């Protein structure tokens, strides 16, 4: 019995203006070849099939196309939803894909079901046998996708953050134990009647304790249990023969256990993953036990380089990268059309617009595409520290615009997307200020009796602008807190408006 464990495909990823379609297609073609080459009985994809909840059509087509081709080989496919996947979107095709040897598991069975309901219908969605090409049962799987907290717990009023974390961890652990017990029963019953021991395979999409901090903080790995569960202890997993995990993009064993593993993503999804050997894991079971795990290294289809340098050493660094890339061009036989993608991190220099131009000029004849020029984290932090040192004025000394500008200047506005966002925010802010000024000047001419009305219309203008801002918020969770802070700064300044109106009037 042989399976391939893979995860975190992130089909449809949009990467600093670039599509990953070509790489993903080549990976899927390669994966199909491995299935035939190694006689694989099943492929398990442990979450994050797609990069977003609304993947582009080409990505969906790629997914369906792969399923149709795999079906011909008689290899089973088990698809688990990850935190990036949309439960609704993956569920749409669940029934039709079932006829193509594919099981799609998007959600855990609700804990609220009665024992009877569980046994009757729900359980078989997550605990079921795997079989080989001849249809013989070869393993039992506990197929567990990304567990959304609301699926397993009800938060109670007055629960502290650590209580919540504890109850979520307990609920996930209970879910694993419960499914494992059910799988154990099925495996034991099978052994009794057929005389064949079956391995039990569990899956998961979460951060397990013992994963390197750097890996869970990679640019492309999103925190999943924000403010609640940080990492799931390996000891809380049931004693399955193999636990196929997804979510962390670098392949690794969990808690030094041979049988609890992340296979990592098959392509580098951020520049900080560029140096990792990407792989899928071929897992072999004999006599109902784990026999061996072998890494099948995925060829690199698109070389990425993170170039960390300074303004002075920029030219040298580009030359060095060129030499390194030329060596790889030969060794890995990249087609001549493949250019390396570069992320240039500079540890000094304030004016990024000048730097970008300089980089473009230097790299003009090189087989590079520069996707990103940025100051390194340290330089950004230094700059921020400088800014906040200079800016020791208090809120009451500043005008509304100054507060807004100062807040904006603390953020990075480098990519086209970010610059466009800054423009949008500034526009909204300007509109809001104009409306407020108009309201104030009208109020000057009106009697006290009208005042309340005007204040409420100004508040309305503000809430309109704020809802535009909150629309922005949802586009990027990371910047949520920043926007909220700015909102409250606006609200704070705004709360003085009625008073100043009164002053004007008196």
Q: Match 């009665």 to its residue by tokens.
A: 114
Nearest to Mn ion of 83, 497 (CB atom) = 83
Residue ranges in 15-74 that form contacts with Mn ion under rule CB under 5 A: 48
Alpha-carbon separation of residue 487 from 319, 392, 397, 462, 502 (angstroms): 46, 20, 18, 10, 24
Return the number of the residue (216 or 302) whose C-beta is nearest Mn ion.
Answer: 216
Smallest separation, CB 205 to Mn ion (Å): 8
Instruction: Tell me the site size for Mn ion, rule CB under 5 A.
Output: 2
Nearest-approach distance from CB 172 to Mn ion, in angstroms: 18
The minimum distance between CB 247 and Mn ion, in angstroms, equals 6
Stretch binding Mn ion (CB under 5 A), from 6-14, 311-319, 413-421, 489-497: 6-14
Tokens of 313: 């050493």
Work out how close the CB of 125 gets to Mn ion at its nearest, in angstroms, rounded to a whole number: 23
Cα 108 to Cα 85: distance, rounded to the nearest angstrom: 14
C-alpha 171/C-alpha 30 separation (Å) is 38
Cβ closer to Mn ion: 75 or 221? Answer: 221
**Rg of the chain's alpha carbons, rounded to an integer?**
28
- In angstroms, what is the minimal distance from the CB of 10 to Mn ion? 6
**What is d(CA 260, CA 216) in angstroms, rounded to the nearest whole number?**
17
Strand extents, DSSP E, 132-199: 137-142
Least Cβ distance, residue 51 to Mn ion (angstroms): 8
Q: Which is nearer to Mn ion, 250 or 493 (CB)?
A: 250
Which positions from 80 to 119 touch Mn ion by CB under 5 A, shown as an x/- string? ----------------------------------------
Rounded to the nearest whole angstrom, what is the least distance from the CB of residue 215 to Mn ion in the complex?
A: 11
**Which of 81/443 has CB closer to Mn ion?**
81
Nearer to Mn ion, 46 or 183 (CB): 46
Nearer Cβ to Mn ion (213/323): 213
Nearer to Mn ion, 11 or 363 (CB): 11
N- to C-terminal Cα distance for the chain? Answer: 87
Q: Are the beta carbons of 41 and 298 closer than 8 angstroms? A: no
Residue 247 or 493 with smaller CB distance to Mn ion: 247
Cβ-proximal residue to Mn ion, closest one: 48
Smallest gap from Cβ 221 to Mn ion, in A, equals 6
What is the distance between the alpha carbons of residues 200 and 184, in angstroms, rounded to a whole number?
7
Binders of Mn ion among 136-165, rule CB under 5 A? none
- Candidates 4-12, 88-96, 375-383, 469-477: pick the segment binding Mn ion (CB under 5 A): 4-12
Distance, in Å, from the CA atom of 307 to the CA atom of 57, rounded to the nearest integer, reads 33
DSSP string, 270-337: SGGGTTSPPEEEEEEEETTEEEEEEEEEPPPSS-EEEEEE-TTTHHHHHHHHHHHHHHHHHHTT--TT
Q: Shortest gap between Cβ of 220 and Mn ion (angstroms)?
A: 7
- State the Cα–Cα distance between residues 333 and 372, nearest whole angstrom: 25
Phi/psi for 377 (5° steps) reads -55, -45
Residue 206 Cβ vs Mn ion, minimum distance, rounded to whole Å: 11
Compute the least distance from the CB of residue 6 to Mn ion, in Å.
12
Cβ atoms 451, 443 nearer than 8 A: yes
Size of the chain in residues = 506
Q: Which residues 6+ apart lie within 8 Å of 94 measured at CB?
A: 104, 106
Q: How far is the CB of 123 from Mn ion (least distance, A)?
A: 27
Among positions 8, 23, 41, 215, the unique one binding Mn ion when judged by CB under 5 A: 8
Cβ of 115: how many Cβ atoms within 10 Å?
Answer: 7
Of 178 and 225, nearer to Mn ion (C-beta) is 225
Q: How far is CA 204 from the centre of its chain?
A: 15
Per-residue burial over 264-276, b = 16 or more CB atoms within 10 Å of its CB, e = otherwise = bbbbbbbbbbbee
Q: Which one of the spans 8-16, 27-35, 160-168, 405-413 is the region binding Mn ion (CB under 5 A)?
A: 8-16
Q: Closest CB to Mn ion among 229 and 443? A: 229
Q: Which of residues 8 and 273 has its CB atom nearest to Mn ion in the complex?
A: 8
Placement of tokens 């070869």 in the chain: 138
Contact set with Mn ion (CB under 5 A)? 8, 48
């Amino acid at each position: 019995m042989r399976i391939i464990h893979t995860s975190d495909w992130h089909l449809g990823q949009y990467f600093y203006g670039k599509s990953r379609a070509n790489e993903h297609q080549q990976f899927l073609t390669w994966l199909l070849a491995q299935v035939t080459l190694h006689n694989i009985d099943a492929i398990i994809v442990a979450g994050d099939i797609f990069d977003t909840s609304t993947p582009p059509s080409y990505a969906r087509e790629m997914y369906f196309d792969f399923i149709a081709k795999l079906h011909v080989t008689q290899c089973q496919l088990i698809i688990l939803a990850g935190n990036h996947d949309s439960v609704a979107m993956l569920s749409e095709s669940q029934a039709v894909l079932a006829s193509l040897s594919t099981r799609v598991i998007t959600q855990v069975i609700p804990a609220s079901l009665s024992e009877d309901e569980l046994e009757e219908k729900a359980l078989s969605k997550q605990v079921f046998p795997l079989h080989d090409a001849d249809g013989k049962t070869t393993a039992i799987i506990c197929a567990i996708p990304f567990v959304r907290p609301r699926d397993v717990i009800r938060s109670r009023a007055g629960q502290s953050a650590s209580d919540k974390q504890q109850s979520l961890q307990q609920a996930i652990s209970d879910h694993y134990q419960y499914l494992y017990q059910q799988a154990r029963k099925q495996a034991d019953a099978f052994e009794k009647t057929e005389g064949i021991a079956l391995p039990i395979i569990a899956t998961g999409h979460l951060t397990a304790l013992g994963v390197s901090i750097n890996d869970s903080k990679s640019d492309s790995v999103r925190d999943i249990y924000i403010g609640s569960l940080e990492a799931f202890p390996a000891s809380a997993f049931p004693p399955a023969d193999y636990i196929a995990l997804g979510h962390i993009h670098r392949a690794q064993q969990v808690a030094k256990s041979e049988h609890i593993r992340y296979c990592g993503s098959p392509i580098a999804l951020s520049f900080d993953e560029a140096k990792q050997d990407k792989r899928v894991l071929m897992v072999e079971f004999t006599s109902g036990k784990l026999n061996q795990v072998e890494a099948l290294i995925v060829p690199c289809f698109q070389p990425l380089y993170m170039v960390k340098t300074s303004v002075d050493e920029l030219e040298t660094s580009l030359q060095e990268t060129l030499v390194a890339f030329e060596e790889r061009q030969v060794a890995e036989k990249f087609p001549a059309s493949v250019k390396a993608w570069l992320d240039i991190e500079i540890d000094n220099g304030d004016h990024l617009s000048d730097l970008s131009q300089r980089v473009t000029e230097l790299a003009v004849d090189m087989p590079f595409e520069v996707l990103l020029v940025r100051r390194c984290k340290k330089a950004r932090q230094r700059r921020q520290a400088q800014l906040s040192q200079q800016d020791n004025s208090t809120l009451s000394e500043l005008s509304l615009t100054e507060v807004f500008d100062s807040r904006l200047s603390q953020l990075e506005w480098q990519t086209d997307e970010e610059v466009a966002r800054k423009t949008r925010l500034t526009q909204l802010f300007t509109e809001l200020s104009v409306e407020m000024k108009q309201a104030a000047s009208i109020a000057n001419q009106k009697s006290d009796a009208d005042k309340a009305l005007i204040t409420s219309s100004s508040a309305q203008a503000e809430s309109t602008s704020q809802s535009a801002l909150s629309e922005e918020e949802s586009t990027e969770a990371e910047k949520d807190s920043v926007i909220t802070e700015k909102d409250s700064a606006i609200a704070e300044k705004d709360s003085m408006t009625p008073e100043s109106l009164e002053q004007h009037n008196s």
